[in-house]
Amino acid sequence: MTEARTPQIRHSAWHVPKSERSIFYTRVDALREDDPPLGVEPAADNNVIKVTEYCLFMRTSNGSMYGGRRSMSWWATIVTVFSFFFFSLGTYVAFRYQHEHEGYSGAALSFFLENWDVPIGISLAFFLGCFWIFIPWRTQLPIIFNRKTRRVTCMIQGKCLSERWDHLQAYIKDVTSFAAGSGPINEGVLTLAFPYVKPDSRNGDWHLRIGIYATSDHPQAVINRGIYGAAQVWEYIRLYMREGADALPPSCALAPYAISSAREAVRQFNPLKVLRVQHPAWLIVAMPFFLFIALPVAPLVMLGDIFYMWLDRILPRRKWPQALIDACDGVWDGKDD
């Protein structure tokens, strides 16, 4: 039996204290299809778009960052709903003040319509200001792993590139990024390198690279560094290319990439979940959190999630180039993503 080894890293983790490096310390040139196993469990979550008998469609790191629930475009939608609510609440407070102290005789609805530019205008301005985030979401294209042809195909910088699976080089990288409402996040990215002949370069050894985010919802990925999850994705892809879709483990995604009905949003963000504690003593902590945070916030998140579902249905998507359709033997053309 071949001895398992740890994946390579090309980043600043060598400066991290030894106790914090987890199992990732071996430095090699690249990962290849015929390498020994990395010693991690194959896993994936929302980085998988679709799985068919002969084709695995993986979402790029850009697509995961900008599109889907918990992405930048999703957060922009949620914040838009929150801003509308809070500015509407402020407008109502202003109505009560003018009604009681300044003799305003109209109804609350009339006052709101007279001052619509505050809640609606500000929320709309914020939404339009963030709309650039939606462009990468609606124009993303997948990486296609075809078991029948043994080729990997994707679009990089407007170029359709294809490489034999047996010759593909992969790298596991550790990157630091920023997410909405938080500080820097350490994430793993599986990077694929495609040979490319640059027209104005004298050196023919040139590569274009594209990344896939590490799985973040698998229990082992949660307690380890991001590169652990990237290694799991690599093993997930290798398992598919070797044994097919039936051998793949189920998705470990905690939340689906997109919802299909409002009921899913209600079920996902049900504030009563806060009260489901294992020991009754925890209710002392859970009850205030339920009353003052979960109960008022959850309905707004539900509305934002439903609004995002609606946007997903009406906003146009980028039409797949014929090269990608051919690369997956015409089994999918990008519709119903």
DSSP H helical ranges for the chain: 61-66, 72-101, 108-114, 122-129, 134-139, 219-223, 226-243, 262-268, 283-289, 295-314, 322-327
Whether 257 shows a pLDDT value over 60: the answer reads yes
In the prediction, which pLDDT does 203 show?
60
Average pLDDT along the chain: 85
pLDDT higher for 216 or 201? 216
Whether 297 shows a pLDDT value over 50: the answer reads yes
Give yes or no for a contact between 143 and 154, defined as CB atoms under 8 angstroms apart.
yes
What the block records as the tokens of 139 is 């124009």
Contacts 24+ apart (CB under 8 A), 303-307: 303/81, 304/74, 304/77, 304/78, 304/79, 304/80, 304/81, 304/82, 305/69, 305/74, 305/78, 305/259, 305/265, 305/268, 305/269, 306/259, 306/262, 306/265, 307/77, 307/80, 307/81
In the prediction, which pLDDT does 201 show?
57
Name the one residue in this structure whose structure tokens are 């598919």: 240
Average pLDDT in the 5-12 region? 39
Q: Looking at this protein, which amino acid is placed at residue 14?
A: W
In the prediction, which pLDDT does 28 show?
40
Average pLDDT in the 209-213 region? 94
Average pLDDT in the 203-230 region? 86
CA dist., res. 258 & res. 218, Å (int): 19
Whether 179 shows a pLDDT value over 80: the answer reads no
Model confidence pLDDT, tens digit, residues 217-252: 999 998 887 889 999 999 999 999 999 999 999 999
CA dist., res. 153 & res. 206, Å (int): 17
* Confidence band, pLDDT 50/70/90 cuts, at residue 24: very low
3-state secondary structure of 115: coil
pLDDT higher for 207 or 81? 81
Average pLDDT in the 205-214 region? 87
Q: In what order do the strands lie in the sheet with 207-213?
A: 169-178, 184-195, 207-213
Q: How many CA atoms lie within 13 A of 135 on its CB side?
A: 5
In the prediction, which pLDDT does 290 show?
84
Give yes or no for a contact between 95 and 104, defined as CB atoms under 8 angstroms apart.
yes
Residues 6+ away with beta carbon under 8 Å from 302: 262, 265, 266, 269
In the prediction, which pLDDT does 3 show?
40
If we measure between CA atoms, which residue out of 150, 152, 170, 171 comes closest to residue 161? 152
Average pLDDT in the 193-214 region? 78
Average pLDDT in the 81-104 region? 93
Q: Are strands 207-213 and 48-51 parallel, antiparallel or unpaired?
A: unpaired
Burial per residue of 96-120, b for 16 or more beta-carbon CB atoms within 10 angstroms, e otherwise: eeeeeeeebeeeeeebbeebeeebb
CA dist., res. 200 & res. 194, Å (int): 18
* Confidence band, pLDDT 50/70/90 cuts, at residue 49: very high
In the prediction, which pLDDT does 176 show?
62
In the prediction, which pLDDT does 306 show?
97
In the prediction, which pLDDT does 249 show?
96
Whether 178 shows a pLDDT value over 60: the answer reads no
* Confidence band, pLDDT 50/70/90 cuts, at residue 75: very high
Model confidence pLDDT, tens digit, residues 94-147: 999 998 998 898 899 999 999 999 999 999 999 999 999 999 999 999 999 999
Q: Are strands 48-51 and 143-146 parallel, antiparallel or unpaired?
A: unpaired
Name the one residue in this structure whose structure tokens are 């889907």: 68
Q: What is the DSSP string of 66-94?
A: HSSTTSHHHHHHHHHHHHHHHHHHHHHHH
Average pLDDT in the 49-59 region? 96
Model confidence pLDDT, tens digit, residues 145-171: 999 999 999 999 999 999 999 999 999
Q: Where are the domains of the chain?
A: 1-67+140-252
